[in-house]
Amino acid sequence: MSRSKKTRKSNENAPKLAPRTKKKDRVLAGKKQVAGNKAGSRHNASMIESQANGGKAKSADPRHGSKKPVQLHINTEVKVEKKPKGPKLTDEQKLLKLEEDPRLNSLLDMLEEGKNLNAEDQKWLNKQLTQIETLMDKLGISDEDDDAPQGKKSVSDDDLFDKFESGADLLKDYFDKD
């Protein structure tokens, strides 16, 4: 196929150009309006304010940020002393320490004598007693007198052997059912 050159002539189907206007009727577009502030406006705020105020500049500090003075040296005289932490007390040691407290003993003596305690002492006493109870529960110590006879009976060896044999008989019966 042979090559055909394109022509610059347009036909009826080509897009139409806008009609020409005369020079005197044309409105020339002015300078494009700028959006936003001038470049560097935040750095030379005093210059912008002076132009806006008609040449009267403010005596304000143009720097941004805090004006609070910063301490440049460290005061070495003030030292915070930390209390040395001892080894943790066991529950038994805590219980002994609470029971040997002289204030607790004096308040308990006052109660036994029938004297009334003020609200602060009563509150402190209740707190100490609840701590003692919780420690005793943790350690398995009962509040009752240790001299009182317990509800448990001493079991002889023969009774234990009979109980063991009856358990063996029950186990044997269970396996025989299958």
Output the six-digit token pair for 111. Answer: 């109660």
Res 23: pLDDT: 83
Output the six-digit token pair for 48. Answer: 């912008």
Res 59: pLDDT: 58
Q: Going residue by residue through the chain (178 aa), what tens digit of pLDDT does each one get? A: 678 887 777 777 877 788 888 888 877 766 777 777 767 666 676 777 777 776 554 556 667 788 888 888 887 776 667 777 777 878 888 888 888 899 899 998 998 898 888 999 999 999 999 999 998 888 888 766 554 445 455 678 888 788 777 777 777 777 887 6
Output the six-digit token pair for 89. Answer: 């007390």
Output the CA torsion sign for 39, 44, 45, 48. Answer: negative
Res 54: pLDDT: 64
∠ CA 44-32-20, rounded to 5°: 170
State pTM to two decimals.
0.36
Res 115: pLDDT: 87
